[in-house]
Structure 1
Amino acid sequence: MFRRTFWFTAGAAAGVWATTKVNRKLKQLTPESLAAQAANKAIEAGHRLKDFALDVRDGMAQREAELGEVLGLNDHPEVPGPRRVAAIENRNNPKYVERSTYSYNRNEDH
């Protein structure tokens, strides 16, 4: 009698376990779950790509500093900055020459 009860209980437990596993797998294969998994993977890949880009940038800065030391470029800190260009010319300046308003558009009708 004890043997039958043991095997009945073991079979019932195995059935519950198998049913639970199958239901979990079916829930993972629903379209909503697949979309969520794909979105999570994409976000994770984006984070990895960002980390890679930051590592590359750090490596580039480090190598640039090393090359600057070897080539002696770091010895001259008084490097002039970029030149600024005026966006609007001064019409009171005698160098200002008024240009004609001839159109050079080759696509306009002649």
Structure 2
Amino acid sequence: MFRRTFWFTTGVAAGVWATTKVNRKLKQLTPESLAATAANKALETGQRLKDRAVGFALDVRDNMAQREAELEDALGIHENPELPAPRRHTAIENAPGNHRSAPKYIETSISSPTKYSYNRNEDH
């Protein structure tokens, strides 16, 4: 009698265990659950990539600053270098026959206007 009760109880327990496992797996395979799982994994992957990209950017910035310091030392540039020279603008003289020559460089400033006009229709 005890044998039959033991095997009956074992069968019921195995049936409950198997039913529970199958129901859990079916819930995991529903479209909503699959979408939630995919979204969570995408967020985790995005966070890992962001962390790696930030680390890479910081490494690049550190190495760039180090290399700039090396170049400044090699070139003898100090922290406050001179300002660059003023820009030069090109202007072509409106003289007859001179329109195909190389452009003439003249310095411009606000206080002294240029003697060459940029208006091509001025002489016509």
> Do Structure 1 and Structure 2 share a fold, with TM-score over 0.5?
yes
In the TM superposition, what is the alpha-carbon distance from 1:62 to its structure 2 partner?
2.3
Instruction: Give 5+ residue unaligned stretches, structure 1.
Output: 82-92, 100-110
| Greater displacement, 15-24 / 61-70 | 61-70
In the aligned structure 1, how far is the partner of 2:53 from the partner of 2:67?
21
Fraction of identical pairs, as percent: 58
Match of residue 78, structure 2, among 69, 76, 79: 76
Instruction: Give 5+ residue unaligned stretches, structure 2.
Output: 84-110, 120-124
Partner residue in 1 for 2:36:
36
- What is the letter of the counterpart of residue 79 of structure 2? P
1:8–1:68 Cα change, 3 Å: same
Alignment deviations for residues 67-110 of structure 1 (CA, whole Å, 9 cap, x no partner): 2344327x7322579xxxxxxxxxxx885x9x7xxxxxxxxxxx
Q: RCO (CA 8 Å, sep 6+): is it higher in 1 or 2?
A: 2
- What is the letter of the counterpart of residue 18 of structure 2? A
Partner residue in 2 for 1:108:
none
Instruction: Specify which structure has the higher proportion of strand.
Output: 2
In the TM superposition, what is the alpha-carbon distance from 1:66 to its structure 2 partner?
3.1
How many residue pairs get aligned? The number is 90
Over the residues paired in the alignment, what is the CA RMSD in angstroms? 3.2
In the TM superposition, what is the alpha-carbon distance from 1:34 to its structure 2 partner?
0.8
Question: TM-score of the superposition, structure 2-length normalised?
Answer: 0.58
Instruction: Specify which structure has the higher proportion of helix.
Output: 1
In the aligned structure 2, how far is the partner of 1:65 from the partner of 1:9?
73
In the aligned structure 1, how far is the partner of 2:36 from the partner of 2:6?
42
